Copies of this chain bind each other. A is one copy, B any other.
Amino acid sequence: MTEQHSTRPVASQLRAAGAARAAGAARAARARPVVPRGLRRGLGVGELRLDGGFWGALQETNARATLQHCLDWMEQLGWLGNFDRVAEGATGGERPGWQFSDSEVYKLLEALAWEYGRTGEPATGELLGKVVDRVAAAQDEDGYLNTCFGHAGQAGRYTDLSTGHELYVTGHLLQAAVARVRTVGEDDALVGVARRAADHVCREFGVDGLGSSGQPGICGHPEIELGLAELGRALDEPRYTEQARLFVERRGHGTLAPIALLSPAYFQDDVPVRDADVWRGHAVRALYLAAGAVDVAVDTGDDDLRAAVERQWTRSVERRTYLTGGMGSRHQDEGFGDDWELPPDRAYCETCAGVASVMVSWRLLLATGEVRYADLIERTLYNVVATSPRADGRAFFYANPLQQREPGADVRPDAVNPRAEGGVRAPWFDVSCCPTNVARTLASWQAYAAFVEEASGDSSDGDGVVVSLAQYTAGDLRISVDGLEVGEHGGELALRVTTEYPHDGRIRVEVTAVPERPVTLRLRVPHWADGATLTGPDGATAAVRPGWATAGTPALAVGDVVTLDLPVAPRLTWPDPRVDAVRGTVAVERGPLVLALESVDLPDGVLLDQVRLDPKVAPRAQGDGAVVRAAVVPLPGGGAGTPPFGPGGPGGAPAPTSDTGVPAALDLTLVPYHRWAERGPSTMRVFVPTARPTARPTARPTARPEETR
């Protein structure tokens, strides 16, 4: 096989494009998260200070509980000790953890790096430094770094690209280093480790170094593409970008050794990225690969590749994505299903796939500016990422189904959980990719809140800058806009955002400082916000449609206040008729929050299976949830062992199970999906079957008294 597109003079292109910025690169890199070479850049984690609120609370819990929690588990299980054993030359015995356990350490390092970058807390920096020292000590002289392969008593390096995860693990190391570059700069121990590791990968897997297999090597689990592309961008090192490009192009030609019972689509080795129409196979792999492909496309100017990922995004979101933004319909391969295959009960919706989806959409948002990408990010952050951690930050959902049929029972709430499912958040998993993925995402939430770009020039003078608020939170933004680089002299836009979003739909933005360049402010009106209004600096209120609403043209001034009012009353959401698994049901949403009906909110004697929502009665707000009118239907009695299908009218002729005097209609409380299962094992459903009650509702017995308090 020949290298695909290897004749493109990528490196020289990159050098030319980057030359103008080279001087300020090291300085500019500070405090900035993943930033493509496009015209738009996201926020550095230091550019937004959260003032409590939904994400502030989650971020605080992450900082105070989750980071240490992850560290403790990895220490206890020996995943950190693996590095010490390599450093001490003590490998060869039983090695704790899966072959990819190093990556959890790296994702935790990334989380710590963002956290330190955001807060500068010395304790965080010290913690990080200690872990980095142990990691660095395990690096081989030639830059290779992996605690599972290549040492005494271990399998040889790169002898199992399909399942060994070596390059995957390295990718996470590089991402952690990028977080350091973006927060403290490149003169850093972890960055040094990553540089040596990346150089090693380039030597082994470059055009002339095709890996020990003799084949152009790729990793069974994409991630190295992402790590190399980000590091190449952060360090302005085109060799890394080129290596990322090689890995992207090599994929899809069926060169990975097959894994029993799985098809090549499992690791996206069935179709080249630029030829694929839809995401398929293992969801996290598909999405990490897509994110890396966007980085490569943007940094090499490969519009065809970028368009391919956009095309895949469009079809996958329309046909293979849950209401929550969750991706992955199948447990079997942790993968996407066919179009419209979206079972709520067996929805896998891995937390990591949610994180990865945010990463893809964020890159496409910066590459295109299209609001739909920010919409999906919001949906996914609130309903997948925020769903995973328990309120105390010390237990997590791995899978995020939209229906729980049986209360979680076979989960170990206080131990390593062998399985990804179960309906109860678990403190740790045998494969524990999700907790650290949540941690690094929450620690860098600021990055996704806004982006900056040059004004297109047709308005005002050509010197303008556009700042777009993509996600909403109360807090203070101080955004450097001079030259679009962070921290450069002279240009800073300061905004104070006041809101209780998503509990309330009002977002008030006050301008407290402006840079020399004229700034246009845009606010995202989510796709569900039918009836939103925007009140400008002049006090005039106008209806705004979903999309980007512009405020404060021609240029913002200090003291300007812009107020966006989003409708966050509960609303009904209906499935596409092709989503067979939820035919005849409806969901309730409120602002960006998907709501859920949980068994603990049902009156005694009522089963979740008996509830039918009355769609003719508008749901009304209650707390952050809603109250809906529902009917309680009798269920068929048990048969003598015939399959659950029979003659008769729809559903057969149901025989009441009992005469307990359950009211035929009543009001029921729905809670935000992201907080389900916080009150003990329960059954739950997001999509509720519909029907009209046959009798008037009783007084509102929405829940048992002790549960409403």
Which A residues are closer than 8 A to B by beta carbons?
258, 260-263, 265, 313-314, 317-319, 321-323, 325, 330-332, 337-346, 372, 375-376, 379, 403, 405-406, 410, 418-420, 430-431, 527-528, 530, 571-587, 609, 615, 633, 635-636, 638-652, 654, 689-690
B578 and A261 contact, CB distance less than 8 A: no
Contacts of A317 in B (CB 8 A): 641-643
Whether B577 lies near A609 (C-beta < 8 A) is yes
Q: Which B-chain residue is minimally distant from A348 (CB atoms)? A: B332
Among B375, B530, B641, the residue within 8 A (CB) of A314 is B641
Q: Which of B318, B321, B337, B579 is in CB contact (< 8 Å) with A638?
A: B318
Min CB–CB distance A65 → chain B (angstroms): 27
When chains A and B are docked, how far (Å) is the Cα of A321 from the Cα of B643? 5
Which B residues lie within 8 Å of A372 (CB)? Answer: 640-642
Given known contacts A340-B405, A340-B609, A403-B580, A261 and B644 CB-to-CB distance under 8 angstroms = no
* CB closest chain-B residue, reference A576: B644
* Known contacts A317-B642, A319-B644, A576-B645; is-contact A343 B581 (Cβ 8 Å): yes
Measured between alpha carbons, how far is A89 from B419 in the docked complex, in Å? Answer: 42
> Chain B's nearest CB lies how many Å from the CB of A263?
6
Give the CA-CA distance A323 to B652 in the complex, in Å.
14
Closest to A577 in B: B651
A642 and B375 form a contact (CB under 8 A):
yes
Query: Are A635 and B261 closer than 8 Å at their CB atoms?
Result: no
- Establish whether residues A645 and B575, one from each chain, have CB atoms under 8 Å apart when the complex forms: yes
Which of B261, B313, B577 interacts with A419 by CB under 8 Å?
B261
Give chain B residues whose Cβ lies under 8 Å from the Cβ of A318.
638-639, 641-644
B577 touches A654 (CB 8 A): yes
Contacting residues, chain B, for A582 (C-beta < 8 A): 580
Task: Give every chain B residue within 8 A of A339 (Cβ-Cβ).
Answer: 405-406
* Cβ contact within 8 Å between B651 and A261: no
Query: Cβ of B430 and Cβ of A576 under 8 Å apart?
Result: no
A231 to B345, CA, bound (A): 43
| Residue ID in chain B nearest A327 by CB atoms | B643
Whole-angstrom distance between the alpha carbons of A636 and B586 in the complex? 17
Which residues on the B side are within 8 Å of A583 (C-beta)? 583-585, 689
Considering the complex, give the chain B residue whose CB is closest to the CB of A607: B578
Q: Does B574 lie within 8 Å of A345, measured CB to CB?
A: no
